[in-house]
Amino acid sequence: MEQVKRRLSCIVCPMSCQGEVTLENGSVTGITGFTCPRGEKYAREEVVAPKRTLTTTVRISGAQLPLLPVISKTALPKDKVVDCARFLSNIRVQAPVKEGDVVCADILGLGVDIVAARDLL
Amino acid sequence: MMNDYDVVIIGGGPAGMAAALSARKTGAEKVLIIERDRELGGILQQCIHNGFGLHRFKEELTGPGYAGRYIKMVQADPSIDVLLDTMVLDVEQDKIIYAVNPKQGMLTIQAKAVIFTMGCRERTRGAIRIAGGRAAGVFTAGAAQRMVNMEGFLPGKKIVILGSGDIGLIMARRLTLEGAKVQAVLELMPYSNGLTRNVVQCLEDFDIPLHLSHTIVKVHGKERVTGVTCAKVDENRAVIPGSEFDIECDCLLLSVGLIPENELSRTIDLAMDSLTSGPIVDQFRQTSLPGFFAAGNVVHVHDLVDFVSQEGEIAGNAAAKYALGQLPKAQRVVDIEATGGVRTVVPQHLSITPESPESVRLFMRVGKPEQRITLVIESAGKMLYTRKLAVAKPGEMIVVELPADKVCECTNKITVSLVK
């Protein structure tokens, strides 16, 4: 039996509770230090399958600016965020682009589209 | 008569756009926005991260996404003129505005009401006096943000960031994603002024160390920055001798505070609040000079763009009424004073008018972090409002709605304070 304890700061509200999650063989067996159910839910997800929204830029040709801001349509697995940013650094799109246009579909096979965050003509 | 307007708005960021739309809604027929950048939107256009607009649009937008929604609304109204690439040089007390742009040259514009929405700018190295030479590679975090997110340059490859406000934290993540190595973030205070969410998602996610109660005492390098000497500070923010250590870097970013941009306000001698660094305003966001209004970060630095838009709407509405001769004169003025732990409050006074009063929103900031305290608003010994706060932080503005009946009751000075 492998037991791991992880300390986390909660990001749900400004209280910023400091808590601890105990993991045994990859499943949560104890949560302490969080003062509300929302905090415990956050801590559980954050330990088991943390996710993040990615915002970055891609190159654009023929626009007033050289860069187009983009965003992942839904959150990505946290450990894939850097890989996705690296992948997008090699993408170039052509103006005009409308907010919401798909810039990269199903990035790295993760099932998430990357879309334009603004119009750029 | 081409250059005559009911309401002229100086600054086309979120406050200015909201003010223009609101002025039109109230009945102003000719409205002008003057913007010095090549497009509307202000600083939002370089804030490509998400988290904007949860209050206003009930969704999490990026900065450009939030700006885009307002730009479309402004463009859809043919009675709102927009001058881009245009710099206001001077404003006179009789509401004549002198501006210049590359296409039309000098412009003279006459307004019936003027709204200042110039936003704020960053404190620079000069403001915090760090020793060292003039090596290249020292930038403010916001300047670096514009380079990285809009212009396509990386300001450095090994970065140290001084200041842990939200811009500093967000740039730490942004530069990491763009392939730079962020060596450390240093914070003078014993706590971060940024949101916990940003400390977690911008620093902890990428194992970037945050050194609290630390500062930079020297910048090294001749042509280019080669490193910084850091040191720990005591509770009086004085450097502790012997605690110095060096960090290698080719770029130093400063995220050390924002200052409302009030050069124009000073040229017409508006009364200023020395703590917010913005003009003193009443609940209509009218300044000390009748017909001049102000909203957004030029009044006080906000945390949330949603509140900036809201303040723009208040000013736009009142400025339109002023231009149409419909803004009632104040019967009396009631000052609002921040004391006992509350550092700033906006508006700084209320203009009590004969019209049926409306509720007033007070925006406050505390001086230092507090837990389990009570916010008390009183006037002449009478309690107007109390609220228990589990936590209060300087980085998070407190917003209170003072009901209309309480507003018209006030005759004496109102005080806002924190009580243990």
Q: Which residues of A touch B178 (CB under 8 A)?
A: 56, 85, 89
Size of interface A-B (CB pairs under 8 A): 79
Query: Beta strand B181-187 with B158-162: parallel, antiparallel or unpaired?
Result: parallel
Average pLDDT, integer, range B338-342: 93
Name residues 56-85 of chain A within 8 A of B (Cβ): 56-57, 59, 64-67, 69, 71, 78, 81-82, 85
How high is the ipTM of this complex?
A: 0.90
pLDDT of residue B407: 84
Q: Please tell me if residue A10 touches chain B, with a CB cutoff of 8 Å.
A: yes
Mean pLDDT, chain B, as a whole number? 94
B372 touches chain A (CB under 8 A): no
List chain A residues with CB under 8 Å of B39: 64
- Each residue of B186-205: pLDDT tens digit? 999 998 888 888 999 999 99
Q: Which residues in chain A are closer than 8 Å to B68, comparing Cβ atoms?
A: 99, 118-119
How far is B286 from chain A, CA to nearest CA, in Å?
Answer: 32
Handedness of CA B1, B7, B10, B12 (dihedral sign): negative
Q: Do A66 and B152 touch (CB under 8 A)?
A: yes
Per-residue pLDDT for B1 more than 70?
no
Q: Pick the residue with more confidence: B131 or A78?
A: A78
* B74-123 pLDDT tens trace: 999 999 999 999 999 999 999 999 999 999 999 999 999 999 999 999 99
Q: Tokens 């559980």 sit at which residue? A: A44
Chain B, nearest residue to A11 by Cα: B197
pLDDT in tens, B226-266: 999 999 999 999 999 999 999 999 999 999 999 999 999 99
Supply the pLDDT for residue B410. 80
CA distance B318 to B283: 10
Chain A nearest-CA distance from B193, in A, is 12
Query: Chain B interface, mutation test: which of A47, A71, A79, most B Cβ atoms within 10 Å?
Result: A71
pLDDT for position B208: 98
Q: Which residues of A touch B200 (CB under 8 A)?
A: 9, 11
Domain ranges of chain B: 1-121+259-327, 124-256, 329-420
- The mean pLDDT of B57-67, rounded to a whole number, is 93
Select from A60, A107, A117 the least CA-distant residue to A84: A107
- pLDDT for res B39: 97
Q: Alpha-carbon distance B290 to B301, whole Å?
A: 23
Work out the mean pLDDT of chain A and round it to a whole number. 92
Asked whether residue B180 carries a pLDDT value surpassing 80, the answer given is: yes
Q: Which fold has domain B124-256?
A: FAD/NAD(P)-binding domain (3.50.50)
Q: Which residues of A touch B197 (CB under 8 A)?
A: 11
CB within 8 Å: B49 and A118: no
Tens of each residue's pLDDT in chain A, 121 residues:
678 898 888 887 767 788 999 999 888 999 999 988 888 988 998 998 899 999 999 999 999 999 999 999 999 999 999 999 999 999 999 999 999 999 999 999 999 999 999 999 9
Q: What is the CATH number of domain B1-121+259-327?
A: 3.50.50.60
Q: Which residues of B touch A118 (CB under 8 A)?
A: 45, 62, 64-65, 67-68
Spatial distance between the Cα atoms of B353 and B361, rounded to a whole number of angstroms: 16
**pLDDT class of B409 with cuts at 50, 70, 90:** confident
B75 touching chain A per CB within 8 A = no
B108 compared with B395, residue with greater pLDDT: B108
Helix and strand tally (H, E) in chain A? 2, 10
Query: pLDDT at position B2, please?
Result: 56
Evaluate whether B124-256 and B329-420 have a shared fold: no
- Using a pLDDT cut of 90, give the percent of chain B over it: 82
Which of the residues A118, A119, A121 would you substitute to probe the B interface, choosing the one with the greatest number of B C-beta atoms within 10 Å?
A118
- What sections of B292-341 are H helices per DSSP? 305-323
State residue A14's pLDDT score.
Answer: 66
CB A56 within 8 A of CB A104: no
Average pLDDT over residues B17-46: 98
Residues 22-41 on A with a CB inside 8 Å of B are none
The pLDDT of residue B404 is: 87
Residues contacting B193, CB < 8 A, separation 6+: B164, B165, B166, B187, B393, B394, B395
pLDDT tens profile A31-40 = 999 988 888 9
A86-117 per-residue burial string, b: 16 or more CB within 10 A, e: under 16: eebeebebeeebebeeebbeebeeeebbbbbb
Q: Which CATH class is domain B329-420?
A: mainly beta
Strands (E), chain A: 3-9, 18-24, 27-32, 51-52, 55-61, 67-72, 76-77, 92-94, 102-104, 114-116
Which domains are assigned to chain A? 3-49 (2.20.25), 55-116 (3.10.530.10)
